[in-house]
């Protein structure tokens, strides 16, 4: 259990912060690196469009669905213990991925890597919340958010360089090295801490939540290949709805729920959860879809694609820290809302710049999207900790991180399915009526391959269609998708203005609100 103790030496706490940030750095490197490596993995190991999409989605699914459960385990069994176990397992899974013999082995290991990442992040962030108090804790979590940004910024560039010079397996081996270093630096300096009031693992809640998220993601990934009306897809989406309803019912009756639904009565708590949802649709999905377009459809090599992606992710290096400084004059909610509006404008601009293909005209809108997203990025981790008492740090970080990571997995599945459907419509619209009826299935398969960044297999499904026609149909669908994402991001900005426009309350007020009946 937790015991009162004086603050540790500054050097020890900085070493702990560095270790947690290093572990956090490996997570976005693994995420964005896996997206850039997908075309190379497909060329090396083969596989269907569905199997290739699971390279990213398997990691995001297990990572997002188990974060809340990992937070509960951290509070009960020890934050240091869970951080150590998760980081060690993450390093081992990354090492195994570097030696994987088949695409299915990659997919399964990515799922296991996501489980380990959930344990490492939940344990590390909950331990961090016990080491820092007040403004120092806000600064520590802002630095943690900036570390995520650095991983996202340099992930595509590093992945492109590694693929070009060594091969895609080196991406996962570098993640293993980062995990091992975090383990060696942080664990000896961490103090064990627990929540003395923590209950047992909410098994029913964990099972229903994971089942709902798995069925929903699987259904969305399978829809472009099997069709939205297929019994498999309908069954998966129906099961997801039933399991989601069961999860809510279980959590409402649990004495110590994994997700405290009563927290959603408070406007600031709801507003904090909107922030990662907005960044999912306005930013994260581009980190996956844009490399697939640049490398798999436009024909860029991995290094050139990585450098172009730097325009999108580069602002994460400096803007989050600047945003933290700006909170002296503007409320965090105002800054977050303004940033999301900038990102929405950048998405609409990008839809126009990419009409004729990827090129220098896309750099300015990508920079604007990155700038707008980076404003809330450095603030939302600190905001998330302020809405619950310190002793419920596992709950706070678990809920926020689950919203972020599960939202990313859902956003990727939704956006990929929408892109495939829009591409199919554009391909069919460009065919003669006589051919469209006979090739509807082939067009669906070609659209799924294009959405997965595999132009060669897409062209094989429609050999009578010129390559320029395939690319133009895909580009038109991509532009329409970007405009839809701009609308979603703008709506999230309005919600943030409504819920988070005021100044942040003091920690006692936030704690009282979080624990009120």
Q: What is the pLDDT of residues 329-350, one digit of tens each?
A: 888 888 999 999 999 999 999 9
> How many Cβ atoms sit within 10 Å of the Cβ of residue 266?
16
DSSP E strands in 337-472: the ranges are none
Chain length of the chain = 517
pLDDT, residue 418, reads 93
Binned at pLDDT 50, 70 and 90, residue 238 comes out as very high
* Residue whose C-alpha is closest to residue 193's, from 85, 89, 76: 76
Where does residue 134 rank: exposed (0-12), middle (13-18), buried (19+ CB within 10 A)? exposed
At residue 496, does pLDDT exceed 50?
Answer: yes
pLDDT at site 387: 53
Helical segments of 132-230, H only: 134-165, 169-186, 203-226
Per the model's pLDDT, the better-predicted residue between 53 and 354 turns out to be 354
pLDDT in tens, 132-155: 776 777 677 777 777 776 777 677
Q: Which residues does 89 contact at the CB level (< 8 Å), separation at least 6?
A: 112, 115, 116, 119, 120
Q: What's the gap between Cα 413 and its chain centre?
A: 11
* Percent of the chain clearing pLDDT 90 (strictly above): 21
Mean pLDDT for 93-101 is 92
Instruction: Work out the average pLDDT over 415-433.
Output: 84
Per-residue confidence (pLDDT) for residue 353, from 0 to 100: 94
Residue with tokens 């509960």: 72
Whole-number average pLDDT of the chain: 81
Angle at 177 between CA 171 and CA 182, to 5 degrees: 130
Report the distance separating Cα 105 and Cα 95, nearest Å.
13
Q: Residue 513's pLDDT band (boundaries 50, 70, 90)?
A: very low
Mean pLDDT for 399-413 is 78
Of 302-306, 385-389, 501-505, where does mean pLDDT reach its minimum?
501-505
Q: What is the pLDDT of residue 273?
A: 84
Q: Which residue has the tokens 């709902």?
A: 212
> Looking at residue 35, what is its pLDDT?
75
**Per-residue pLDDT tens over the stretch 2-39:** 444 444 467 777 777 877 887 777 777 777 777 778 88
What mean pLDDT comes out for the span 370-379? 88
* pLDDT value at residue 6: 45
pLDDT of residue 398 exceeding 70, the answer is no
Quickly count: other Cβ atoms within 10 Å of residue 512's Cβ: 12
Superfamily of domain 10-186+254-425+474-515: MFS general substrate transporter like domains (1.20.1250.20)
Query: The tokens 């270093």 sit on which residue?
Result: 181
* Structure tokens belonging to residue 385: 């900790």
Mean pLDDT for 364-383 is 88
pLDDT of residue 9: 62
pLDDT of residue 200: 64
* Helix (H) or strand (E) run with residue 444 in it: helix 440-451
pLDDT of residue 386: 66
C-alpha–C-alpha distance, residues 318 and 477, integer Å: 33
Cα 382 from chain centroid (whole Å): 18
Mean pLDDT for 43-71 is: 81
Compute the average pLDDT of residues 399-409.
76
Q: Above 90 in pLDDT, residue 126?
A: no
Residue-wise pLDDT for 438-458, tens only, equals 577 788 888 888 888 888 888
Interatomic CA distance for residues 201 and 157, integer angstroms: 40
Percent helix, strand, coil in the chain (nearest 5)? 80, 0, 20
pLDDT value of position 511: 34
What is the model's pLDDT at position 514?
31
Average pLDDT on 492-509 reads 68
Lowest mean pLDDT among 30-44, 259-273, 361-375, 483-497: 259-273
Whether the per-residue pLDDT at 507 is higher than 70: the answer is no
pLDDT on residue 318: 82
- Tell me the domain boundaries of the chain: 10-186+254-425+474-515, 205-253
Quote the pTM value: 0.77
- pLDDT for position 494: 93
Among 359-363, 466-470, 483-487, the minimum mean pLDDT is found in 466-470
* Tokens at 72, concatenated: 């509960």
Inter-residue contact 380 to 276 (CB < 8 Å):
yes
């Amino acid at each position: 259990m937790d015991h009162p103790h004086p603050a540790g030496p500054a050097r020890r706490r900085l070493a702990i912060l560095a270790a947690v940030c290093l572990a956090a750095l490996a997570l976005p490197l693994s995420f964005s690196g896996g997206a850039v490596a997908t075309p190379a993995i497909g060329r090396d190991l083969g596989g269907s469009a569905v199997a290739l999409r699971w390279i990213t989605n398997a990691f995001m699914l297990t990572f997002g669905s188990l974060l809340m459960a990992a937070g509960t385990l951290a509070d009960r069994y020890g934050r240091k213990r869970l951080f150590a176990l998760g980081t060690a397992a993450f390093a081992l899974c990354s090492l195994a991925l570097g030696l994987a013999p088949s695409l299915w082995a990659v997919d399964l290991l990515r799922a296991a890597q996501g489980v380990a990442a959930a344990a490492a992040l939940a344990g590390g962030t909950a331990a961090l919340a016990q080491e820092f108090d007040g403004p120092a804790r806000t600064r520590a979590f802002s630095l943690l958010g900036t570390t995520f940004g650095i991983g996202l910024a340099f992930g595509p560039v590093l992945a492109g360089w590694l693929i070009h010079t060594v091969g895609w397996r080196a991406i996962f081996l570098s993640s293993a090295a980062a995990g091992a270093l975090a383990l060696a630096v942080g664990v000896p300096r961490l103090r064990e801490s627990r929540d003395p009031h923590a209950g047992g693992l909410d098994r029913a809640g964990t099972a229903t939540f994971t089942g709902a998220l798995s069925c929903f993601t699987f259904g969305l990934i399978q829809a472009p290949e099997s069709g939205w009306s297929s019994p498999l897809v309908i069954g998966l989406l129906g099961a997801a709805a039933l399991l989601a309803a069961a999860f809510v019912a279980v959590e409402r009756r649990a004495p110590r729920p994994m997700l405290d639904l009563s927290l959603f009565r408070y406007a600031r708590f709801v507003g904090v959860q909107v922030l990662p949802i907005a960044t999912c649709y306005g930013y994260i999905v581009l980190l996956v879809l844009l490399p697939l377009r640049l490398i798999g459809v436009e024909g860029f090599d991995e290094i050139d694609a990585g450098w172009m992606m730097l325009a999108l992710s580069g602002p994460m290096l400096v803007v989050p820290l600047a945003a933290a400084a700006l909170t002296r004059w503007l409320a965090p909610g105002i800054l977050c809302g303004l940033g999301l509006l900038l990102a929405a404008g950048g998405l609409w601009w990008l839809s126009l710049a990419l009409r004729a293909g990827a090129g220098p005209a896309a750099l300015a809108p990508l920079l604007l999207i990155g700038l707008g997203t980076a404003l809330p990025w450095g603030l939302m981790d600190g905001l998330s900790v302020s809405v619950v008492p310190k002793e419920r740090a596992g709950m706070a970080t678990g809920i926020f991180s689950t919203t972020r990571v599960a939202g990313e997995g859902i956003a990727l599945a939704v956006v990929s399915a929408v892109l495939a459907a829009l591409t199919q419509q554009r391909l069919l619209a460009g065919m003669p009526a006589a051919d469209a009826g006979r090739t509807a299935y082939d067009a669906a398969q070609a659209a799924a391959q294009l959405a997965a960044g595999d132009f060669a297999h897409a062209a094989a499904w429609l050999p009578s269609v010129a390559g320029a026609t395939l690319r133009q149909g895909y580009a038109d669908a991509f532009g329409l998708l970007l405009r839809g994402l701009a609308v979603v991001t703008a709506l999230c900005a309005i919600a943030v203005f409504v819920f988070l426009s005021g100044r942040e309350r003091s920690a006692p007020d936030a704690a009282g609100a979080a624990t009120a009946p």
